[in-house]
Amino acid sequence: MPDNDTAAGQAALSICEALLLALNDAKILPEHEIMGILKDAAATHEQAGGSPNDLAAHAAVAALINKIIAGGNSVRRT
């Protein structure tokens, strides 16, 4: 069973992905704006500082966001 931090992170990711899809489906945010949000989030983590553990965590988060961008998970591309 995952620990609480892992479960919370997975829940947050699922909720955010659903919100991005809903915003795109409702034509509130176009695909390029959603991709910009994701790229900004990745860049924030890529540029973050901190301890070696903090840097490793930020790098992992940035890598995950970049995989989401590459996979197109948060927009329904036509």
Per-residue pLDDT reduced to its tens digit, 34-71: 999 999 999 999 999 999 999 999 999 999 999 999 98
Distance, CA of 2 to CA of 12 (rounded, Å): 15
What's CA 53's distance to the chain center, in Å?
A: 20
Hunting for tokens 């900004």 — which residue is that? 40
Q: What is the pLDDT of residue 78?
A: 56
DSSP letter (8 states) at residue 73: T
What's the pLDDT tens digit per position in 14-39?
Answer: 999 999 999 999 999 999 999 999 99
3-class DSSP string for 10-46: HHHHHHHHHHHHHHHHCCCCCHHHHHHHHHHHHHHHH
**pTM for the structure as a whole:** 0.82
Answer whether residue 77 shows pLDDT above 90. Answer: no
